[in-house]
């Protein structure tokens, strides 16, 4: 095999690739410890006055909450419940059709993951012959 004008065997190339991968693995920096998560604030008085956790800098304090009249009106109309399905929309809107398409995708993925109930019989099961004697049914 020619490699950059040289005759090289496949074994040399494979060993070189493996050795380079080992060197790269050795050079990889060790992961540092994960950042500590902030403690959960359970003080109700503090939660009513400040937006806890929004001051993400070390020296920064959490901002104080303002009265509802100082926030825009659209803020109170945001949907905060469970995600809407296609049944919640009007069929004459684009949102309905986007949600319907998403529901169909989820349904087809769910079906692909499930095992089917019916399994066709194997050849050995079709040609099965019992060694037991056949029962004779007596009719009265």
User: What is the residue extent of each domain of the chain?
Assistant: 1-28, 41-78, 81-113
Give tens-digit pLDDT for 52-108.
888 777 788 888 999 999 999 999 999 899 989 999 999 999 999 999 999 999 998
DSSP state of 115: P
What percentage of the chain reaches a pLDDT higher than 90?
Answer: 33
DSSP 2-38: EETTEE--HHHHHHHHHHHHHHHHHHSPPPPPPPPPP
- Write the CB contacts of 102 (distance below 8 Å, at least 6 apart in sequence): 86
Could you tell me where the DSSP H helices lie in 1-140?
A: 10-27, 44-49, 94-113, 123-126
């Amino acid at each position: 095999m020619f490699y950059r004008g040289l005759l090289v065997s496949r074994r040399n190339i494979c060993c070189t690739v493996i050795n380079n991968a080992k060197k790269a693995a050795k050079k990889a920096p060790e992961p540092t410890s994960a950042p500590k998560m902030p403690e959960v604030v359970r003080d109700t008085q503090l939660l009513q006055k400040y937006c806890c956790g929004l001051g993400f800098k070390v020296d920064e304090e959490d901002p104080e909450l303002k009265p509802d009249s100082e926030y825009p009106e659209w803020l109170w109309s945001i949907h905060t419940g469970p995600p809407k399905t296609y049944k919640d929309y009007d069929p004459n809107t684009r949102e309905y059709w986007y949600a319907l398409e998403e529901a169909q995708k989820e349904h087809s993925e769910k079906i692909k993951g499930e095992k089917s109930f019916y399994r066709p019989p194997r050849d050995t099961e079709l040609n099965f012959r019992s060694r037991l004697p056949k029962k004779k049914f007596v009719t009265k």
